[in-house]
Amino acid sequence: MSTMRAFKKHKIRSNFSRIELFSAFRVLQKFRSTITEDVGPDKTNPESIELDTEIDEDALAQLDGLLQWMDSKIKIATKSQSHAFSSTSLAHVSDVQISPGPPLFLKDDVAQRVATAKLASTDHLMSSENMHKFLDMLLHLVAKPSEASSRTWVDAFLYRASAMLPPAKKMVLNIEYNVLPVTIPTVLGSEVILAGIVDYTVIVTNDPKMARFFLNNPGIRNLMQYIESVLGFFVVEAKAQDVKLDDHIPQIVLQLYAAAKKLKKTHIRGTLTNGYEWLFLVLTVNQDGEGASYRVSDRAYSAAPQENLGDEVIPDVPPDMISGILASWIERSCEDLLEDDWFI
């Protein structure tokens, strides 16, 4: 009976991302080419000739085996894949050549801007005063936290933003918008298919007939057919109030990118919110049309209730600031930041 023990192969999982694997593969390929250049052994030393040959053959055999293994893994990784927005990670964002830019900061004149926003559309059903009353009602009526309860707050801010738009511009709010799959090239030369549901999309048009059309056709898939009538397309991703917003930035970044590619826009804006806190994002497609960069507000701006003598109350300033930003950004959602923007 053989006393030899059979050795079992153990699988070792790699923590390499696809990009890191591809980069390492290219480096090793270059190294392989370098060491096989015609550099002869020292012929004055007979022993070195045999030694050099043995080392070269053994090392090259191992290196070639490693390169073959890496090549096979890369080929598997570079097949077309599909990503739902809800399962997006930072790795997926990097794969499609999207990179973060500098943060967005509010300008120094924010107090003046908030005062102006507060006075906008004072005779409208959703005036600043009525918005505060509505939020106070939600505070004492709707149980929390959940994504559904968060959306009641999101709705209130979007209603207020719609009231603040110029009368000539019509806003159409679409809930649970299904984005048609869009195929995006990756840094590895493969393709990825982006698809999924966007919680809210906001269309802006100055054509009343087209506004009615979008209202009556909320599930319209091919917006490109009507792109001349679309002045703005704003994306809103809503989360529960106990969710950390920063963790979901990759999701809205890919939503913005997919929308920009579908609409053939170079700029697009959106917000990530739980109803209380709001992050604002702007995405710019690269000049060659492949990949993009994005900027996020330096922090989440909060309209969360505050303690006052043992009770919760709606803060005075933040709701008007957030609704003011929303109104401005929705109106210019397919434009780069302008001189009179809230952010710099």
pTM for this predicted structure = 0.78
- For residue range 263-279, list pLDDT tens digits in order: 999 999 999 999 999 99
Residue 218 has a pLDDT of 84
Token pair belonging to 255: 């939503």
Residue 19 has a pLDDT of 58
**C-alpha span between 288 and 104 (Å, rounded):** 24
How many H-runs (helices) and E-runs (strands) does the chain carry?
9, 11
**C-alpha span between 166 and 277 (Å, rounded):** 26
pLDDT above 90 for 195: no
- For residue range 13-38, list pLDDT tens digits in order: 555 666 577 668 777 877 777 676 54
Residue 83 has a pLDDT of 73
Average pLDDT over residues 250-263: 96
Average pLDDT over residues 316-337: 98
Residue 183: strand pairing partners: 193
pLDDT above 50 for 325: yes
Residue 82 has a pLDDT of 72
98-100 and 81-84 beta bridge pairing: unpaired
